[in-house]
Amino acid sequence: MLAVERLFDYTVPDHLAAVVGVGTIVRVNLGGRRVRAWVVDDGVVSEAPPDKLRPLLGAVSAGPPPEIVDLTAWAAHRFAGPRLPLLRVASPAALVPPSAAGPPARVALASPSPPLSVPELPGEAGDVAADAARRKAATVRWPPAAERGELLAALVASAGSTVIVVPEGRLGTLAARLRATGATVVPWLAEGRPRDRARAWERAGRGGCVVLGGRSAVLAPVPDLGAIVIVDDGAEALKEERSPTWHARDLAAERAARCGARLTVVSPAPPLEAPGPLLVLSRPMERSGWPITEVVDRRPEPPGLGLFSPRAVAALRAAPRAVCVLNRKGRARLLACGPCGELVRCERCEASVAEVDGGSEGISLVGCARCGATRPRVCVSCGSTRLKVLRSGVTRVREELAALLPGVGVAMVDAGTEQLPEEPVLIGTEAVLHRVEPHPGGSTSVVVFLDFDGELLAPRFRAGESAPPDSSAPAPPADGYWCRPACPATR
């Protein structure tokens, strides 16, 4: 029994013996309170005397199957973190009758599904897909602009269930392509109505389906797992930021090894720890799936030009639709005093402050992101109000870009933007790449990464490896290009 990250022993009353098994969510009496917990083992010999053991109060809901419960124990040990968050992820979002779950002997499998019409890819793509489908573990290096729906459909297991882990939110196109093969696709959503997510969990527990979702889909309760496909292995969305900081690839590899399933990783830039042999297309075919990248060296340019080089401005002016990416929110993220040169810091914690909105009064303020303190826009060292911006945010950069492109509409896109603006130039954080339509369906032909050195030198693990754009970004046409203002020495 697991609650508050400790193990406790309880007895199972006779009236609950038929519905309680490993993984079942139950209600217990703990310290005078009624709390929920997961059954993580049964048939144990307790160190406490039998008359000291309390019985379970009731069965609340079905939970993860026993093999997933064991996998959470391995993941908690492997990533040195608590086990409870993993059990929550592996459990249904709403209550499911306990009789719907249990050990594999009590799982009612779905009726045999009709044979899938697995597509046969022509040429080299078909050879790579067939080679990956024959191996227990393999990594396919697939360019971002190449159609991957056909490849994923070819990697679906011919028997049993398949789990496809995709780090982005665009699942509709992939789900439609997989359904065209006759597969039963179960969308595994991290957000949405709990009742709908619980229905998806319950349907996955009957097997004979293709589970398509984010990193938590690797813990889907399919009893007949035949294959796991990880898409865009290097994406940060596949790694949990909270403890335990597990990665979907590692859990998929361990689960596939335990049940004898096939593991295939599909990524445009596979990391070093990708499993199995690396399967690649020919150089001409792979090159045709990548956009043309242009690196603008800013060192020969005179100072004072800001983030926009003449080359970037010309590219934005000529493009029918362009996107600028700057991963800094707000107006000014770093300020310095003009007369004395001191960095503007917080009076409480000495952290650097950023320019914040003064509200309806229109007062210019600076705020500390660490402690939340705000004050007027003034230097505490000399009292001057002449502050210069050392690191601009996306709001201020949008104003500068609009001044550089007179007559060209420039709009900012953030998390609160409901409808994509029609202006030809859009600017925002990296999230803007997930809002625009990629080619050939869309019209975005140029993507400009501003201050790309900040991405390469970011204080996070493998910043330089994850900085290049992945397949979730829009791919320009063959005659387009990507402009990335960065120093060649830091590429």
Q: Of 69-73, 127-131, 173-177, 462-466, give the lowest mean pLDDT range.
A: 462-466
pLDDT score at 118: 57
pLDDT score at 358: 62
pLDDT score at 44: 84
Comparison of pLDDT for 415 and 104, the residue scoring more: 415
Q: Can you state the percent helix, strand and coil of the chain, rounding each to 5?
A: 25, 25, 50
- Same domain, residue pair 225 and 308: no
Q: Does the structure show a pLDDT above 60 at 192?
A: yes
- Same domain, residue pair 120 and 203: yes
Question: Strand 137-141 and strand 262-267: pairing?
Answer: parallel
Taking only the tens place, the pLDDT of each residue in 31-53 is: 889 999 999 998 888 888 888 89
CATH of the domain at 188: 3.40.50.300
CATH of the domain at 20: 3.40.1440.60
Q: Which two three-digit tokens encode residue 362?
A: 């229109």
Rounded mean pLDDT, 197-225: 94
pLDDT score at 476: 38
pLDDT score at 125: 84
Judged on CB neighbours under 10 Å (0-12, 13-18, 19+), 486 is buried
**Total domains present in the chain:** 4
Give yes or no for a contact between 27 and 42, defined as CB atoms under 8 angstroms apart. Answer: no
Q: Which two three-digit tokens encode residue 289?
A: 């799936």
Rounded mean pLDDT, 166-171: 73
Taking only the tens place, the pLDDT of each residue in 299-308 is: 888 877 778 8
Q: Does the structure show a pLDDT above 80 at 416?
A: no
The fraction of the chain above a pLDDT of 70, given in percent, is 85
Comparison of pLDDT for 59 and 418, the residue scoring more: 59
Rounded mean pLDDT, 101-125: 51
Q: Residue 100's pLDDT band (boundaries 50, 70, 90)?
A: very low
pLDDT score at 249: 94
Rounded mean pLDDT, 69-85: 95
Neighbours of 253 (CB within 10 A): 21
Rounded mean pLDDT, 404-420: 85
Q: Of 104-118, 164-178, 213-227, 327-341, give the lowest mean pLDDT range.
A: 104-118
- Same domain, residue pair 194 and 114: yes
Q: 3-class SS at 154?
A: helix
Rounded mean pLDDT, 384-403: 87
pLDDT score at 101: 41
- Same domain, residue pair 309 and 386: no
Q: Does the structure show a pLDDT above 70 at 238?
A: yes
Rounded mean pLDDT, 433-442: 64
Does this model's pTM top 0.95? My answer is no
Q: Of 38-52, 62-76, 88-102, 105-119, give the lowest mean pLDDT range.
A: 105-119
DSSP letter at 215 equals G
- Same domain, residue pair 364 and 441: no
The rounded distance, in Å, linking the Cα atoms of 20 and 105 is 13
Q: Does the structure show a pLDDT above 80 at 201?
A: yes
- Same domain, residue pair 55 and 191: no
Select from 76, 102, 128 the last residue of a domain.
Answer: 102
- Pick from 426, 193, 211: nearest CA to 326: 426
- Same domain, residue pair 17 and 156: no
Q: Does the structure show a pLDDT above 50 at 491?
A: no
- Same domain, residue pair 216 and 206: yes
- Same domain, residue pair 110 and 93: no
Select from 54, 82, 102 the last residue of a domain.
Answer: 102
pLDDT score at 307: 84
pLDDT score at 246: 95
Q: Does the structure show a pLDDT above 50 at 405?
A: yes
pLDDT score at 74: 97
The rounded distance, in Å, linking the Cα atoms of 116 and 425 is 43
pLDDT score at 468: 57
- Pick from 239, 456, 418: nearest CA to 327: 456
- Same domain, residue pair 265 and 153: yes
pLDDT score at 3: 45
The overall longest dimension of the chain from CA atoms, in Å, is 83
Contacts of 164 (CB under 8 A, 6+ apart): 152, 156, 174, 178, 210, 211, 212, 213, 217, 228, 229, 231
Taking only the tens place, the pLDDT of each residue in 324-369 is: 998 888 888 888 898 888 888 888 888 888 888 765 455 678 888 8
pLDDT score at 169: 59
Q: Does the structure show a pLDDT above 80 at 5?
A: no
Q: Of 37-51, 202-216, 417-431, 464-478, give the lowest mean pLDDT range.
A: 464-478
**Average model confidence (pLDDT) across the chain:** 82
The rounded distance, in Å, linking the Cα atoms of 378 and 364 is 9
Q: Which residue range(s) make up the domain with 367? A: 332-391
pLDDT score at 361: 55
The rounded distance, in Å, linking the Cα atoms of 150 and 173 is 11
Comparison of pLDDT for 486 and 17, the residue scoring more: 17
- Same domain, residue pair 325 and 367: no
**Beta bridge pairs of residue 138:** 264
pLDDT score at 256: 96
Question: Strand 54-55 and strand 10-11: pairing?
Answer: parallel
pLDDT score at 112: 43
Which strands sit side by side in the sheet containing 374-376, from one edge to the other? 353-356, 365-368, 374-376
Q: Please provide the distance, in angstroms rounded to a whole number, between the alpha carbons at the two ends of the chain.
A: 51
pLDDT score at 481: 37
- Same domain, residue pair 145 and 32: no
Select from 35, 70, 102 the last residue of a domain.
Answer: 102
Q: Does the structure show a pLDDT above 50 at 105?
A: no
